[in-house]
Amino acid sequence: MKGFAFLVFFVSFSTLACDGGMAMKRIVSIPEHSILANDMTEKEFKDSIKAFENFFSPSVDREYNGDLIVFGSWASNTVNAYAEKSENKVMITIYGGLARHKAITKDGFTAVLCHELGHHYGGYPKKSGNKWSSAEGQADYYATMKCLRRIWEKENNELALGDQVITFALKSECAKTHSDAKAQALCHRMGLAGRSVSLMIQDLDHDSIEPKFETPDTLVVRSMSYLHPFAQCRLDTFFQGAICPVSESVEFDDDDQTAGACHVKLGDTRGLRPKCWFLSSN
């Protein structure tokens, strides 16, 4: 497996497929040392990316015969991240501007990396434009349900949560799925990581309504949405991925929307992908 990549990776543009970006159409810049920046350091940025790549590279190689390459540019002030694919190259690019956003915590940053990996391996529904990339909402669902669970399942998540506030809604919903205190702590951590990302989206959208666990989006789509949902809908998706009891070891499928997921066709009532972007098949 190839090593951790902070070097520019050159690839033929004729074979390169790009997903578009985490914050497409909402691009802003946050320079280092800006009053708008959080306290993340360049070392933390690089260490987080290296840990992520080291964790997933073996499984990408073993299960998909792929080569995971994560390119992080701390010097770039752009608030964005995106996925790219070229033959067996599984690529993620993430910029320092996103890492410096005031809403992004260290866990939120990892959730963004998981979202981008979700474009590669999130399964159904796939974007109609490029065919290989999972829809934005599905990439969020993958981020908590499959990716963050794998990374954090053996960590001391109670310690990692520190003094973060666990709201009643987050605590009670996690308890309905998980009876074990350690599993609940993991659920809390995933939920708060998703909230970090959703707060960033709220800011980039200039949305005055703060996304909360207690106020799920009431929108019901008439057709599948493949693009970026609004902040509340994204929080709902991260949250449902955190409370769905299906194992992270059960992969999503490119064609079967029930595989690896919670779904009404399977009799599930919780952990479902939200109707604000997802349309269930009959």
pLDDT in tens, 180-223: 999 999 999 999 999 999 999 999 999 999 999 999 999 999 99
pLDDT confidence tier of residue 2, bands split at 50, 70 and 90: very low
Domain count, the chain: 1
Share of the chain above pLDDT 70, in %: 91
pLDDT of residue 87: 87
Range of the domain at 228: 17-266
pLDDT of residue 14: 33
Whole-angstrom distance, CA of residue 172 vs CA of residue 87: 44
Q: Which of 147, 125, 145, 149 is nearest to 135 (CA)?
A: 125
| Mean pLDDT for the stretch of residues 113-131 | 93
Residue 255 scores a pLDDT above 90: yes
pLDDT of residue 126: 95
| Mean pLDDT for the stretch of residues 88-108 | 97
Residue 130 scores a pLDDT above 60: yes
Maximal CA-CA distance, the chain: 52
pLDDT confidence tier of residue 7, bands split at 50, 70 and 90: very low
The answer to whether residue 281 is domain-embedded is: no
Whole-angstrom distance, CA of residue 95 vs CA of residue 7: 13
The answer to whether residue 4 is domain-embedded is: no
Neighbours of 8 (CB within 10 A): 7
The answer to whether residue 271 is domain-embedded is: no
Say how many Å lie between the first and final Cα of the chain, rounded. 42
Neighbours of 70 (CB within 10 A): 25
pLDDT of residue 131: 83
Whole-angstrom distance, CA of residue 250 vs CA of residue 210: 33
Greater pLDDT, 6 or 110: 110
pLDDT confidence tier of residue 128, bands split at 50, 70 and 90: confident
The answer to whether residue 6 is domain-embedded is: no
pLDDT confidence tier of residue 122, bands split at 50, 70 and 90: very high
Residue 12 scores a pLDDT above 80: no
The answer to whether residue 36 is domain-embedded is: yes
pLDDT of residue 28: 87
| Mean pLDDT for the stretch of residues 33-62 | 96
Angle (CA) 79-213-209 rounded to 5° is 55
Residue 3 scores a pLDDT above 70: no
The answer to whether residue 2 is domain-embedded is: no
Whole-angstrom distance, CA of residue 236 vs CA of residue 41: 29
pLDDT of residue 15: 40
Q: Are 108 and 100 in contact (CB under 8 A)?
A: no
Greater pLDDT, 63 or 14: 63
Which H or E element spans position 92? Answer: strand 89-95
The answer to whether residue 11 is domain-embedded is: no
Whole-angstrom distance, CA of residue 133 vs CA of residue 126: 6
Residue 30 scores a pLDDT above 90: yes
Residue 261 scores a pLDDT above 70: yes
Helix 168-177 vs helix 231-243: angle between axes, to the nearest 10 degrees?
30
Separation of CA 152 from chain center? 14
Whole-angstrom distance, CA of residue 185 vs CA of residue 212: 18
The answer to whether residue 182 is domain-embedded is: yes
